[in-house]
Amino acid sequence: MATWWVECASAVRVHHYGCMTFDEAMANAAPVDSGWTFVSIGVEGDPVDLGAGLNPWDHGWRSTGRRVVVAHPSYPWQRHDMYEWTLDGVEPAVRFAAGEYSYGVWGFFVPS
């Protein structure tokens, strides 16, 4: 019985692609949207500072409708769709991108 997991000596495991060197994985990665800086990854509700001490979990979020493609902070060859938001009731407007990497694990980015 075959398994999808393969041990990779001195290489990274890229799901569905097998083993590659880090440089090969990065060369095969799709482009990301420029202009976004990683802020945080954590479980839903964990404190996040978007700047000026603003924690998105303490405010309502309003969607801008814009999708942002970012790299995973620990696995930079992986791409994830995040969505751009603003915080309700905060002036001037605070823009950020957020999305779930996996169930309950959120990533946050701010404009560069």
pLDDT per position as a tens digit, 81-112: 999 999 999 999 999 999 999 999 999 999 99
Same domain, 91 and 45: yes
The amino acid at residue 49 is: D
Q: Given this model, what pLDDT does residue 2 score?
A: 46
What φ, ψ does residue 29 adopt, rounded to 5°? -75, 145
- Domain of residue 57, residue span: 31-111
Q: What is the C-alpha to C-alpha distance for residues 19 and 6, in angstroms, rounded to an integer?
A: 8
Place of tokens 């097998």: 18
Same domain, 38 and 93: yes
* Residues 102, 107, 111: CA angle, nearest 5 degrees: 150
For range 30-38, the mean pLDDT:
94
- Number of domains, the chain: 2
Residue 1: pLDDT over 60:
no
**What is the average pLDDT score of the chain?**
88
- pLDDT over 70 percentage in the chain: 84
Same domain, 7 and 52: no
Its pTM stands at 0.80
